[in-house]
Amino acid sequence: RNRQLAGSDINMHVARFFEKIGEPGLAGEIYARILERQPEFLEAGNNLAAIYIDGGRYKEAIGLLQSFLARYPGSAELYANTGTAYMRSGEKEKGLLLLEKAADLNPYLRRASYMLGIAYMERGEIDRALRQFVKYSRLDPYDPEVHRILSEIYRQKGLLKKADIEYNEAKKLEGLL
């Protein structure tokens, strides 16, 4: 048992390394092997599902995430990833409900705030989207993409000074100013 746990720790580090260097396929293979030996390993399952989502394999991601949600119903990250998978697969309403559940469980979860902002924008709920992106920018002030989004929202609302501030912040973070 101890060897198995030590092996899974090493494998998790190797899988995370492969993700960081842009090799999600190799990372996914390692996560899948970990789950064969330890099907309850939440982090490995969640990380594998995130790779599936990024690769457009939404059905696989949703199936895996739902199996983990049945075992870990209090995991905000699982709800956020499941909501993201549904959103990207085109099931927007189902995704929105799951993302809202994730935000209720953990109001500081960046993925939930970002994806809720996207969902609200797609629905035309600009003020709700704005609140989510402002919240996200407080949670991750170094993400230039969210500053670009905020710039566009402020521009749509006619708040040009705020739009310029956000635009310049995005450029600064990208090293272009």
- Give per-residue pLDDT as tens, 15-37: 999 988 989 899 999 999 999 99
Say which residue, 5 or 103, is predicted with more confidence: 103
Tokens for 60? 């696989």
CATH 3.20.20.70 assigned to 2-106: no
Task: Output the CA–CA distances (angstroms, integers) from residue 108 to 52, 91, 94, in the order listed.
Answer: 24, 24, 21
Q: Give CA–CA dist 5/18, Å, rounded.
A: 20
Burial class (CB in 10 A: 0-12, 13-18, 19+), 131: middle
Task: Using pLDDT thresholds of 50, 70 and 90, give the confidence band for residue 9.
Answer: confident
Is 175's pLDDT higher than 90? no
Tokens for 50? 């995130």
For the stretch 124-160, pLDDT in tens is 999 999 999 999 999 999 999 999 999 999 999 999 9
What pTM was estimated for this model as a whole?
Answer: 0.85
